[in-house]
A and B are shown apart, each in its own frame.
Chain A
Amino acid sequence: MAERNCLVTNDWICGEYVRSRSQELTDATLQHIGITLASVAIGLAVSLPLALLARRWRFLSGPVLGVTTVLYSVPSLAMFSLLLPFFGLSVSLVVTGLVLYSLTVLVRNILAGLQAVPDEAREAAKGMGYGPLRLLWEVELPLALPALLAGVRITTVSTVALTTVGAIVDYGGLGTLILDGLDTTFKAQVLTASALCVLLAVVADLLLLGLQRLLTPWTRVHRIRTNRADRGPAVAKVAEPA
């Protein structure tokens, strides 16, 4: 009986809410995951060629990094609003906005990763007759992978958080439930959706950390042997969009 009442008394934590609205919560969570995945995937697909262009032609690296940095400073609500005339009230609006945010960290990290490839490795591959594409795919990208994946982790976590702002056009995944809960002062809905959001970010981060360990087993050995400091702090200096 006490459990039923928590909906009436508008408690923060309410098991009955989770049970009775499980479908709604699942749908919102799936939408949230879908938007995040699409944004990070498209962001990667766009930033890889951008980073390669910026590396190939030095004069492009200034403008590319400059524009993506400026995009990063635009508040999220303004970013989504500026895209409204082009996309209308659609999920593509939210995904496009999130992709634009992801570019800053991804392009920077991919570029840094590629630039950190030792010249000896490059020379050795060329000496073995590797063409430019094979060199990129088999030597440079694998060596740039730790930096790339570090960028993907940061981007994914902030994308999960930023997706909530998509609620302004009704495509915010869990954010839509949060904003809805404000209008109806439904405390359990706001707290549950917020907690799920943070949980989603943490799970995504841990999964990517696992992927990073799996794909780049050599980085751990390297770190132990040379005791070199973690690369993390260097990336933490970038501002967060909100």
Chain B
Amino acid sequence: MNAITGAYDWLTTGANWRGEQGVWHRLAEHLYFSGVCLAVACLIALPLALWLGHIGKGGALAVNISNVGRAVPTLALLILLTLTPLGEHGDAPTLIALVLFAVPPLLTNAYLGMREVDRAVVEAARGMGMSGGQLFARVELPLAYPLVMTGVRSAGVQVVATATLAAMAGEGGLGRIITAGFNLQNTPQVVAGAVLVALLALLVEGVLVLAGRLFDPMRRSGGAAR
């Protein structure tokens, strides 16, 4: 398969990594888009989902938003936003689309995590005289934590994937290497770009899994729960 050796050659050519169109610059753009948007999406979605889960309301919204997110094509939203007046403000369409697609997995998982906390445990905590805040911080949040982190992981993968598609709407990021390869009919470059994007997505997922384990509030209690 000469496309694969070609892709290897492309990746080992130093010139392809340097400069404005180079891998390092595209990777930096990709990480910048992904990092900022994941952080913003977490700041919007997590407090809302945890609060809704705590008071036990808005379940239909939290669950259905994922179904809506699934039905809306990422590419369509990216291109629609690019054609609105927002498109004149550089990265704005990409950043907004990235945040919008990161919110549903965060919201749904965090909400479900809160709701799936054993009601008996919650009742017991109330019986011990815990206030709403104490109940939330000491009981509900630690127990909901695994699902909250599942949501963060899904959102992270989603954000990396959406940032790749942004290249089709004319934005930067690693996807640009792929789209440029298609325009040049340069299959080795397309494959090389795809390998980089796939590796980045798997790496981000791996890092988020590790981070989730590292900050697990239940870990200190001997890890018997795992």
Contacts and interface: CB of A to CB of B under 8 A. Distances in A.
Contacts, number: 167
Interface residues of B, number: 56
Contact of B108 (A161, A178, A193, A236): A236
B183 to A, nearest CB: 10
Contacts of A179: 75, 79, 168
Nearest to A160: B71
Interface in B188-226: 190-191, 193-195, 197-198, 201-202, 205
Interface string A218-233: 0000000000000011
A194 interface: yes
B197 A194 contact: no
A216 to B, nearest CB: 20
B71 A81 contact: no
Given A82-B195, A162-B73, A197-B73, A77 B165 contact: yes
Interface SS majority for chain A = helix
Contacts of A181: 79, 83
Given A164-B76, A236-B108, A75 B201 contact: yes
B71 A201 contact: yes
Interface in A54-83: 70, 73-79, 81-82
Nearest to B167: A77
A185 interface: yes
B1 A168 contact: no
B21 interface: no
- Chain B binding surface SS class: helix
Given A78-B197, A82-B195, A236 B190 contact: no
Contacts of A164: 73-76
B191 A236 contact: no
A181 B112 CA distance: 39
Contact of A187 (B74, B77, B83, B198): B83
Contacts of B101: 242
B178 interface: yes
Nearest to A168: B182
Contacts of A70: 202
A192 to B, nearest CB: 11
Contacts of B72: 161, 198
Given A161-B73, A165-B75, A242 B187 contact: no
B94 interface: no
B147 to A, nearest CB: 7
A81 B193 contact: yes
Contact of A81 (B75, B82, B104, B190): B190
Contacts of B66: 236, 240
Contact of B71 (A82, A161, A175, A233): A161
Interface in A195-237: 197-198, 201-202, 205, 232-233, 236-237
Nearest to B188: A85
B166 to A, nearest CB: 10
Interface centre among B76, B83, B182 (most CB of A within 10 A): B76
B95 interface: no
Q: Nearest 6 pairs between A and B by C-beta?
A: A85-B3, A81-B194, A75-B161, A239-B154, A194-B76, A242-B161
